[in-house]
Structure 1
Amino acid sequence: MLQSVFLPKRMKSSERIRSAIEEDIRTGNLLPGDSIDEQEIAARFQVSRTPVREALLQLKIQGLLLSQPRAGMVVAKMDLQELLAIWELLAEMEGVCTRLACQRMTPAERAELQQIHTDAHAIVQADDADGWREANHAFHDVLYRGCRNPYLRQELLQLRARTGAYLRHAFSAVGRIKASYEQHEELLQAILENNPERAHQMMMQHISLAQGARGLADFLINIPKSMVKG
């Protein structure tokens, strides 16, 4: 009887819905300010409104959704001060994650990271923004898993979801694909050389918004006004 407590549980409907909506926000299928249709979500997952509302409440607590009078739930917008504060925190956490991953990744995970980077070369040559977003996500996800800290990974995924739409618009507009790929190259080399401090430093530079005053100015200019609160 006691052994059954330790058996893996099937994911609740509300958790599946929460995870799917979070992913839609991260990838830009849902943008800041977009409304959430409870009926459409219930039909999509073939459930009643109850687990949908549970999922939306969880996302509201996370700060990803906002309840508006007579408008229901919408994807939360951020002002520039909030966005820069969260991105500053994200850079620190990504740096820690990368240092831990460099110390803890298996040879198979290092090989996976190297293969993702190699495969991304053609995407960069084609200046394929959509392809690069997927390759970039895959590259970082290997590091998130490789750090062997599920709590850190979960926090990173949530911060990425909150900032993803803003960064995608801004960095696509200023053409940072080639620069990001080159930074991944430096990161990869530090990891393959088992140099955690160098890997940490490279990640902090990679995630930094500024990259100099011009970089920060370009970032701010290219955020669509419709996505900014206020």
Structure 2
Amino acid sequence: MADQKERRLLPVKLDTYKPLREVVFDAVREAIIDGVLRPGERLMESQLAEQLGVSRTPVREAIRKLELEGFVVMIPRKGAYVAGISLKDIADVFEVRAALEALATVLAAERITEEELEELERILVRKAEIIEQQEIELFIESDKKFHEILYRASRNQRLIQILTNLQDEVHRFRSVSLASPGRMRVALEEHRKVVEALADRDITRAEALAWEHIENAENSLMEAVRKKGDIS
């Protein structure tokens, strides 16, 4: 577990056309998703502004927007805190994600290109290598890319956006789930079957496999966080 010094935010880079408030929002949101800012941790405007190298105004605006998205809670007379995630929250997210990911997989079976299928195959090979190295963070990164390509293949921009947001909500606990013995290898095999169904343009099988994968991911995560005791 990283100590407080290791968990500092890095100064934001201004080599982008985004407004400063959006750059700061993205930086703080990413820090929450990646676990740099942990559930229940107080968000001090002055401290965040110093670490990010900006004034307090864009930090304040970012915190307000993060509250609207559910990543931050405001407690009267106490301030802003990183929102926790309960087992009920996870169940709700996965209930929606399973249905929408199944839809994305159905659409991908109809619309995926040969180039995208090859991208998915390459990720499967990379995942197998990562499993041998037992590098959980690299596996999570590859897993995220896998789903990004799958979502993209649906050719439905609104669906892509919703699914990406849902992924972000549980990303903070992915390392806990994948640390379970054998889970990375099982996830790889589940993805391999999905790719085979996509390549065969088998819509029915692809949909069933998508449901199975998300349900297994939920069960693994639920079991892991109960054992770890980080959420209620």
* Shorter-chain TM band: 0.7 to 0.9
Structure 2: runs of 5 or more not aligned: 1-15
Alignment match, 1:3: none
**Structure 1 residue 11, shift from structure 2 partner:** 2.3
Q: Following the alignment from structure 1 to structure 2, what is the Cα–Cα distance between the partners of residues 44 and 50? A: 14
Partner of 1:187: 194
Give the conservation status (yes or no) of the 8 Å contact 1:25–1:162.
no
**TM-score, scaled to structure 1:** 0.82
Q: Secondary structure at the match of 2:213?
A: helix
In the other structure, the counterpart of 2:154 is: 147
Q: 1:56 to 1:211 in 2, by over 3 A?
A: closer
Matched, 1:227 2:228: no
Alignment size in residue pairs: 217
Q: How far does residue 58 in structure 1 lie from its aligned partner after superposition?
A: 1.5
Larger helix percent: 1
Question: Residue 23 of structure 1: which of 5, 30, 38 is its match?
Answer: 30
Bigger drift between 34-43 and 63-72 goes to 34-43
| Residue of structure 2 in register with 1:135 after alignment | 142
Q: Residues 19-61 of structure 1, C-alpha deviation per residue, up to 9 Å, x if partnerless?
A: 3333333333333222324334434544332222222211111
SS at match of 1:163: helix
* Separation (CA, whole Å) in 2 of partners of 1:57 and 1:155: 21
Higher RCO structure (Cα 8 Å, ≥6 apart): 1
Distance 1:225 1:17, change over 3 A: same
Match of 2:112 among 97, 105, 120: 105
Residue 215 of structure 2 is aligned to residue 208 of structure 1:
yes
Aligned residue identity for 2:231: M
Deviation at 1:226, TM superposition (A): 3.5
Residue of structure 2 equivalent to 1:92:
99
1:180-224 CA-partner distances (Å, limit 9, x unpaired): 011011011111222233222111111104788xx58734533x3
In the TM superposition, 1:155-194 aligns within 5 A as 155-194=162-201
In 2, distance between residues paired with 1:114 and 1:205? 20
Residue 38 of structure 2 aligns to a residue whose secondary structure is: coil
In structure 2, distance between residues paired with 1:42 and 1:165:
23
Q: CA deviation at 1:108?
A: 1.9
Report if aligned partners of 1:97, 1:144 keep a CA contact under 8 Å in 2.
yes
Aligned mates of 1:107, 1:44 — CA distance in 2 = 44
